[in-house]
Amino acid sequence: MQLSLPRAGLEKYKSNSQRARIATEAWGTKNLYCLNCDSDELSCSPPNTAAIDYVCSECDASFQLKSQSRLFGTRINDAAYAAMLQKIRADETPNLIALYYDLASWRVENAFLVPHFAFSISAIEKRPPLASTARRAGWVGCNILLTEIPPDARIPPLVTSHSPLFSNSFLSVFYFLSNCIFYLQLCCLYDKLLPRLSASAALRSVVAANLT
């Protein structure tokens, strides 16, 4: 795996944020692969696709990449508020890959994943509309509140300078959690309840056992 971010062609972009977005998306195209099936690559989604950056051509699983040059705190700056709400309500939320890179070395330091089934409406925070003087005046974005994502569903750092991205042990936990959530949703439907995800002590203990 190549942990250095690509630099080719970045000189034509003026801002650091533009260069970072282009570089990290290009890195993802070359290094990310599907966590939902055996496909070893992901395809970039068409330009301006709401809330989705990559799609698996084999199983149609979708992924969103968010990157920044500082460690992630309690919030992740995300896409349009309305688009994210629509994805959650339609059960089409993408898997989120949060990537932290070092600005000085232009190198990926770590990444973690939030599976698509872990998102709820309460995890999406509406941001104020952009000012009338902004290029996209009135546009309303959102933040992902990591404090509203069950800790069991936040897969810990998946890549460091000393380890590969998405190890086999992680993949087994991802599949296991997917099956657990599917079973829980069936039970909730049967009882005419529909919580997106219920973090329980039992689930925490099983996930912890699978991560060790």
* 116-125, 141-150, 162-171, 185-194: segment of lowest average pLDDT: 185-194
Q: What was the pLDDT predicted at 200?
A: 45
pLDDT for the residue numbered 149: 87
Q: What is the pTM of this model?
A: 0.74
Among 8-17, 65-74, 99-108, 121-130, the range scoring the smallest mean pLDDT is 8-17
Nearest to 65, CA basis, from 54, 74, 49, 77 = 54
210, pLDDT greater than 50 = no
| Domains, the chain, with CATH or none | 10-211 (3.40.210.30)
In this predicted structure, what is the pLDDT of residue 170? 53
Express each pLDDT in 7-18 by its tens digit.
Answer: 988 888 888 888
Q: How far is CA 158 from CA 81, 90, 164, in A?
A: 27, 28, 7
**Mean pLDDT, residues 77-82 taken together:** 91
Q: How many CB atoms lie within 10 A of CB 3?
A: 20
Q: For the beta carbon of residue 77, count every other beta carbon within 10 angstroms.
A: 11
Residue 64 has pLDDT above 60, yes or no: yes
The 10s digit of each residue's pLDDT in 151-207 is 777 776 555 555 555 555 455 555 545 555 444 443 444 344 444 444 444 444 444
